[in-house]
Amino acid sequence: MAVTDHVDLNQFLDGVKRRNPGQDEFVQAVQEVAEDIFEFIQDKEEYHEYQILRRIAEPDRVVSFRVCWEDDNNNIRVQRGWRVQNNNAIGPYKGGIRFHPSVTESVLKFLAFEQTFKNSLTGLPMGGGKGGSNFNPRGKSEHEVMRFCQSFMTELYRHVGDDVDVPAGDIGVGGREIGFMFGQYKRITNQFSGVLTGKGLEFGGSLVRTEATGYGAVYFMQNMLERVGNAIDGKTCLVSGSGSGNVALHAAEKLTQLGGKVVTLSDSGGFIHDPDGIDAAKLAWAKDLKEVRRGRISEYADEFTGATYHEGERPWDVPCDLALPCATQNELGGAAARKLVDQGCIAVSEGANMPTNIEGVHVFKDARTLFAPGKAANAGGVAVSGLEMSQNASRMSWKEDELQNLLVEIMRGIHDRCVEYGRTAGDDHVSYVRGANIAGFKKVADAMLAYGVV
């Protein structure tokens, strides 16, 4: 095969922008990865020859579909649904479903792209995908959510399957929504299979799945600190997010268990600051607020003396040692990153996907802050989803302590892979961003090389 001319990083990114007009989040995600991969593949001719990066940055397919449902006032509502199947070189497509008004094709393409690297990093055989809809579950009745989920699955079912594509939850999709979608899949196909993860324990779900993303992000933080002789114990921690799904509240729980003092939580309305610390009892209250009563985080400040609510703001101005952005993409920009560094923050672990924008990432890089990108730090969730797939395939349920230990081990393995690829000779500092990008890329790229041009 003829060796193609090498394009440089800027030419490559120009091409990505041209082919994906108006898809800023997707272009941003590709740029973040490409900056490191270009350096890595510089002297590796076969990756250029087979156009591996260009192929990874083009999803295998994007399915877009209409979702009609009827609200409680008998109005017919029309939403758009998507499933982005980015890459299945190392296993069936795998990645969550997001229901949020901010969902667009660009957001889902960025998430599916990131997911490909993240899943590779776990060491488990899973490809990358993501799906969702611009449906807003907030303020909808239980029956409206059920009808929407059923309608969504009535189209999605033909594109997924336990060896094809295995979706899970994400923003706006927790256990309740997974239950509605799994029920509809089973009803349409007459099959009881492991087509979704994050299922209830009564019908094939795995213990530890709900906690896994938040706990995993904290284990990653612990691994980074231990490597430099430090620990979570006694540290002041900022956490953003507080959804009814997964990440923020469980990250806060694990930080507290390890001796950290969590002083913030947030939602899309604003953040609460509790200088006394959000201890186990207060966290239990917050979990009930978000998961059962489905209330707003502002109510926390009415309940607990000393806590304040900051409407329309994000928590990054509060002085801290550690920060865990666990809400959504681009919630931590350059100015916020600068403030964190100036006020003494020593480490950041991203529970959410791409919560720090490119400018913010560069601030942390220049300050040599310990910085764990989401694709490494929040991989615990999909890792336990992978274990749910294994349990479903063997019709077994593993014990909680077994799964907790596996999660700790998997996060340690991801950390160590990042260290392996994220260090430069003569410097003990690790770029976890570069390490995660290269380690995640290499496995997928080598599988693609083995398949030839497909």
Single residue of 116, 122, 151, 246 touching ligand NDP by CB under 6 A: 246
Determine whether 425 is exposed, middle or buried from the number of CB atoms within 10 Å of its CB (0-12, 13-18, 19+). exposed
Question: Is 437 near ligand NDP (CB under 6 A)?
Answer: no
The rounded distance, in Å, linking the Cα atoms of 430 and 237 is 22
The contact mask relative to ligand NDP for 64-93 (x = CB under 6 A, - = no) is: ------------------------------
Q: Within 122-174, where are the H helices?
A: 142-156
Sign of CA dihedral 130, 134, 137, 138: positive
Question: Is 172 near ligand NDP (CB under 6 A)?
Answer: yes
Residue span binding ligand NDP (CB under 6 A) among the ranges 19-27, 347-355, 412-420, 439-447: 347-355
Question: Is 102 near ligand NDP (CB under 6 A)?
Answer: yes
Determine whether 258 is exposed, middle or buried from the number of CB atoms within 10 Å of its CB (0-12, 13-18, 19+). middle
Single residue of 205, 241, 435, 440 touching ligand NDP by CB under 6 A: 241
Single-letter code of the amino acid located at 122 = T
Nearest to 252 by CA among 296, 218, 300, 207: 218
Single residue of 105, 170, 177, 388 touching ligand NDP by CB under 6 A: 170
Question: Is 243 near ligand NDP (CB under 6 A)?
Answer: yes
Residue nearest ligand NDP, Cβ-based: 243
The rounded distance, in Å, linking the Cα atoms of 110 and 73 is 36
Residue 130 falls in the annotated catalytic set = yes
Question: Is 213 near ligand NDP (CB under 6 A)?
Answer: yes
Tell me the CA distances in angstroms from 419 to 35, 282, 411, 423, 428, one per residue in order.
Answer: 18, 36, 12, 6, 10
**Residue 171 or residue 255: which is nearer to ligand NDP going by CB?**
171
Question: Is 129 near ligand NDP (CB under 6 A)?
Answer: no
Question: Is 323 near ligand NDP (CB under 6 A)?
Answer: no
Single residue of 247, 252, 346, 445 touching ligand NDP by CB under 6 A: 247
The footprint of ligand NDP on this chain (CB under 6 A) covers a number of residues equal to 26
**Residue 131 or residue 422: which is nearer to ligand NDP going by CB?**
131
Question: Is 108 near ligand NDP (CB under 6 A)?
Answer: no
Site for ligand NDP in 355-384 (CB under 6 A): 378, 381
Q: How far is the CB of 250 from ligand NDP (least distance, A)?
A: 8
Q: How far is the CB of 385 from ligand NDP (least distance, A)?
A: 8
Q: Which residue(s) pair with 69 in the sheet?
A: 77
Q: How far is the CB of 240 from ligand NDP (least distance, A)?
A: 7
296: Cβ contacts below 8 Å, ≥ 6 apart: 267, 269
Single residue of 149, 352, 411, 430 touching ligand NDP by CB under 6 A: 352
Question: Is 25 near ligand NDP (CB under 6 A)?
Answer: no
Contact indicator for 254, 322 with CB cutoff of 8 Å: no
DSSP secondary-structure letter at 202? G
**Residue 127 or residue 243: which is nearer to ligand NDP going by CB?**
243
Contact indicator for 263, 256 with CB cutoff of 8 Å: no
Residue span binding ligand NDP (CB under 6 A) among the ranges 24-32, 182-190, 246-254, 356-364: 246-254
Q: Which member of 94, 118, 130, 235 is catalytic?
A: 130
**Phi and psi (nearest 5°) for 213?**
-70, -50
Transcribe 24-70 into DSSP letters.
HHHHHHHHHHHHHHHHHHTT-HHHHHTTHHHHHTS-SEEEEEEEEEE
What the block records as the tokens of 385 is 């989803």
Single-letter code of the amino acid located at 89 = A
**Residue 241 or residue 386: which is nearer to ligand NDP going by CB?**
241
CB atoms within 10 A of CB 284: 12
Q: How far is the CB of 243 from ligand NDP (least distance, A)?
A: 2
Site for ligand NDP in 218-237 (CB under 6 A): none
Q: Residue holding tokens 């009564």?
A: 202
Residue span binding ligand NDP (CB under 6 A) among the ranges 32-40, 163-171, 280-288, 341-349: 163-171
Task: Name the site residues for ligand NDP (rule: CB under 6 A).
Answer: 102, 169-172, 213, 241-248, 267-269, 326-328, 331, 351-353, 378, 381
Catalytic residue IDs: 130
